[in-house]
């Protein structure tokens, strides 16, 4: 016999509705997926609500670290890339930086290093026989891998793909039938072995398909199966914390926006809003940052002037070096040509002289009888001419070879100087890139500082608005206090009247005993009548006093509630202001690290001068004293006396209000306010310590960068001085000593 819940679950209705109850409905809900989800949601929501104070900081910290911070970093990176791509110079420097990073990544990659090691191992420098043997072994290994591994692997993967498809079972049956028809494995050929590999792949793919199918059935159960509570519990355990995190983030953002709109409540002294300690600290911090920024700008201007001077000096040195190199090459070529021309002229003179001697000898031989001595002399002269021609050819070859060698030396020296100039140019471009990057950082810091100043101005405006609201609330609260005090005075007067009435009744009773009985009866009747009237009037006074006292207490309670709400809002605003102070401190520290060009500093100085002039004009306008006509001196004296009386009355009222305020402060819990002030003071002190440490780190970093720049300048000066020093020249005209052997 099934109960009402099971009948409702199986048939959708109950056979006996009279015996059905709410417990049966809950049991029916427990049997369905929706009911299970509802119960689990209620349980998990209860746990999260209980543990919310412990989970909220963890949730906010995790969201700030893993969601907001990466998104902010990504947005800053995108903004930096867009700024780099905005102008032509920054775009070129950005492209150069990307190219260098990609080149370094490629050259330093492990794959490229392994490839280079493999290439160097296969192609050794001084061992060609080893390289040939290794290449031959690699070819054999590749062929073996192709035959034994790649082709079977291809068939195996093809079979796995076929087995993973919905028709994999039919493919597997066909493979088993084909293997059965092939016979024993000892008689298989290549095609049968490849078919066996394909069948193994089909089997593996079929197993994977069945495994995935089982997993899908586990994740999505069929309709007619039981409810799987653990899976639903896991789903709700993931879903509900995600919703709580999303709602908490939304609530935090809403509170931040509301806090930014409200701002902080400044103190009010003599009707004028005074800046808070945090605002004073931020103002002093902004002043110190502006002074530090001006110093950095001056330092940057000095460094830039030095850099421009060094750059101009380097360009002049490069130009002078190029001129010296070209002059040296031209002088060497000119000396070589002059030396060659002198040698050729001397050789030509000697050849002419020898030809003249030969002509004279031949002329003499015509007139003299030719004998053996003349024949021998003529033969000697011919041999001498041949020898001289050979010496002339050798001298020409030597001179040409020496000239080529010296010309190659000059070309090598020119190439070396060109490489040095290229290195110096690269260093100069790197320095320009660093300067442009520093300028870009300075511009970004200035933009962030301007944004923070605008936000600070908005916060000051909101503080003024909240101070006005607080002043109105304070006036209302003081009026309520005065009203409650007047009601207390009325109650005291009523108590005094009651006491006096009791005293009068006692005297009347004593006087009544002295009279006779008739007069006593008559007076007693009159006294009773007057007592009834007095009691009625007293009751009416009590009712009116109680009603007014209840109204006053209700108004006072409402005022206390409003004061508590204002204090709560003030605490929230203070907390948000503390967060904003931390953000402002961090942003100011980032702004301190920036550098700014001289024109930006001048523009800021101009704006400050304009503001100073406006404030001076405003101060002069406020200090002007309005002249009062002195026609009626008596009226002026009377007005002055009235003003003095009014001032004394107001001073008395102020003293009374101060006393009431001191009483209210004594009655109110001031410990929390003092603790909050101490916490704010400790937080501001920690911010000051962090800012001080950040400044120290920035000073160390700047000093390190200055030392690096000075080291680079020193290296550039050394290279320039080395380029300016003349190198020893080689003597080209050294062939004259070799010509002495000709004669």
Mean pLDDT across the stretch 283-300?
80
Tell me the two tokens of residue 431: 């320095």
Q: Is the pLDDT of residue 613 over 70?
A: no
Give the whole-angstrom CA distance, residue 743 versus residue 729. 31
Asked if residue 220 has pLDDT above 70, the reply is no
Distance CA 89, CA 740 (A): 66
**Mean pLDDT to the nearest integer, 660-672:** 57
- Count of C-beta atoms within a 10 Å radius of residue 196: 20
**Residue 271 Rama label (left phi>0; alpha psi -120 to 50; beta):** left
Least confident of 113-117, 603-607, 653-657: 603-607
User: How many helices (DSSP H) and strands (DSSP E) are in the chain?
Assistant: 18, 2
Q: Is the pLDDT of residue 70 over 80?
A: yes
Total number of residues shown for the chain: 743
What pLDDT is recorded for position 560? 65
d(CA 317, CA 556): 88
**Could you give the maximum distance between any two Cα atoms of the chain, in Å?**
218
Dihedral over alpha carbons 689, 693, 699, 700 (to 10 degrees): 160
Residue 598, pLDDT > 60, answer no
* pLDDT for 405 beyond 70: yes
Out of 74-83, 345-354, 595-604, give the one with best mean pLDDT: 74-83
d(CA 569, CA 575): 10
- pLDDT at residue 92 in the model: 76
Residue 537 neighbours by CB under 8 Å, 6+ apart: none
* Residue 274 DSSP label: E
pLDDT for residue 615: 63
pLDDT value, residue 193: 85
Does pTM top 0.75 for this prediction? no
Percent of the chain scored above 90 by pLDDT?
0
pLDDT digits (tens, 9 = 90+) for 347-370: 778 778 777 777 776 666 565 545
Q: Are 278 and 456 in contact (CB under 8 A)?
A: no
Q: What percent of the chain has pLDDT over 70?
A: 58
Give the phi and the psi of residue 550 in degrees, each rounded to 5. -65, -40
- What pLDDT does 527 receive? 56
Helix (H, G, I), strand (E, B) or coil at 304: helix
Which phi and psi angles does 437 have, rounded to 5°? -65, -40
- Given this model, what pLDDT does residue 734 score? 40
* pLDDT on residue 140: 92
The per-residue pLDDT for range 511-552, each reduced to its tens digit, is 555 555 566 566 556 656 655 665 665 666 556 656 755 665
Tell me the chain's radius of gyration from C-alpha atoms: 54
Residue range 702-719, pLDDT digits in tens: 778 777 777 777 777 777
């Amino acid at each position: 016999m099934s109960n009402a819940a099971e009948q409702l679950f199986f048939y959708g209705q109950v056979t006996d509705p009279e015996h059905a109850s709410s417990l049966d409905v809950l049991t029916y809900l427990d049997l369905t997926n929706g009911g299970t989800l509802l119960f689990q949601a209620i349980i998990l929501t209860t746990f999260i609500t209980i543990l919310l104070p412990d989970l909220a900081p963890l949730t906010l910290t995790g969201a700030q670290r893993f969601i907001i911070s990466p998104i902010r970093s990504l947005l800053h990176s995108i903004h930096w890339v867009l700024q780099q791509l905005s102008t032509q110079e920054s775009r070129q420097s950005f492209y150069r930086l990307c190219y260098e990073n990609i080149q370094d990544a490629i050259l330093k990659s492990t794959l490229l290093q392994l490839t280079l090691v493999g290439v160097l191992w296969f192609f050794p420098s001084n061992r060609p026989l080893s390289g040939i043997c290794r290449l031959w072994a690699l070819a054999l290994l590749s062929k073996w891998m192709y035959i034994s591994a790649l082709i079977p692997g291809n068939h195996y993967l093809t079979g796995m793909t076929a087995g993973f498809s919905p028709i994999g079972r039919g493919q597997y049956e066909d493979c088993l039938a084909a293997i059965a028809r092939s016979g024993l494995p000892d008689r298989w050929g290549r095609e049968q072995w490849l078919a066996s590999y394909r069948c193994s792949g089909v089997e593996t793919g079929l197993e994977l398909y069945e495994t995935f199918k089982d997993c899908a059935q586990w994740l999505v159960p069929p309709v007619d199966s039981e409810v799987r509570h653990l899976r639903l519990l896991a789903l709700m355990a993931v879903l509900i914390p995600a919703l709580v995190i999303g709602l908490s983030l939304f609530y935090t953002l809403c509170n931040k926006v509301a806090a930014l709109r409200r701002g902080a409540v400044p103190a009010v002294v003599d009707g004028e809003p005074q800046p808070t300690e945090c605002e004073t600290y931020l103002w002093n911090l902004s002043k110190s940052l502006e002074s530090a920024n001006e110093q950095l700008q001056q330092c940057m201007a000095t460094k830039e002037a030095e850099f421009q001077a060094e750059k101009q000096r380097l360009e002049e040195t490069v130009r002078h070096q190029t001129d010296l190199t070209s002059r040296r090459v031209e002088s060497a070529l000119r000396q070589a040509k002059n030396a060659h021309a002198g040698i050729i002229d001397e050789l030509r003179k000697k050849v002419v002289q020898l030809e003249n001697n030969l002509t004279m000898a031949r002329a003499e031989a015509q007139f003299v009888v030719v004998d053996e001595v003349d024949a021998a002399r003529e033969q000697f002269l011919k041999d001498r001419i041949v020898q001289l021609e050979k010496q002339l050819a050798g001298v020409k070859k030597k001179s040409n070879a020496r000239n080529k060698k010296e010309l190659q030396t000059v070309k090598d020296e020119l190439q070396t100087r060109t490489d040095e100039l290229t290195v110096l140019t690269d260093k100069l471009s790197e320095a320009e890139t660093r300067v442009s990057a520093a300028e870009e950082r300075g511009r970004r810091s200035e933009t962030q500082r301007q944004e923070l100043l605008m936000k600070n101005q908005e916060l000051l405006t909101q503080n003024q608005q909240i101070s006005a609201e607080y002043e109105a609330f304070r006036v209302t609260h003081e009026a309520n206090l005065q009203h409650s005090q007047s009601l207390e005075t009325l109650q005291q007067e009523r108590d005094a009247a009651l006491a006096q009435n009791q005293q009068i009744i006692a005297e009347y009773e004593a006087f009544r005993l002295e009279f006779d009985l008739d007069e006593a009866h008559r007076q007693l009747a009159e006294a009773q009548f007057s007592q009834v009237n007095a009691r009625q009037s007293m009751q009416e006074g009590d009712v009116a006093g109680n009603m007014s006292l209840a109204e006053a207490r209700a108004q006072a309670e409402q005022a206390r509630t409003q004061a508590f709400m204002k204090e709560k809002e003030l605490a929230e605003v203070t907390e948000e202001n503390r967060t904003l102070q931390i953000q402002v401190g961090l942003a100011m520290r980032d702004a301190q690290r920036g550098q700014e060009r001289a024109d930006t500093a001048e523009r800021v100085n101009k704006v400050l001068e304009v503001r100073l002039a406006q404030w001076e004009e405003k101060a002069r306008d406020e200090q002007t004293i309005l002249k009062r006509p002195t026609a009626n001196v008596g009226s002026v004296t009377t007005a002055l006396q009235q003003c003095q009386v009014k001032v004394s009355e107001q001073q008395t009222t102020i003293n009374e209000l101060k006393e009431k305020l001191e009483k209210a402060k004594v009655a109110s819990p001031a410990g929390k306010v003092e603790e909050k002030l101490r916490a704010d003071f400790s937080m501001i002190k920690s911010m000051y310590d962090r800012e001080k440490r950040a400044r120290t780190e920035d000073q160390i970093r700047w000093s390190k960068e200055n030392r690096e720049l000075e080291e680079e300048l020193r290296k550039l000066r050394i290279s320039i001085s080395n380029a300016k020093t003349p190198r020893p020249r080689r003597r080209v005209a050294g062939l004259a000593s070799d010509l002495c052997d000709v004669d």
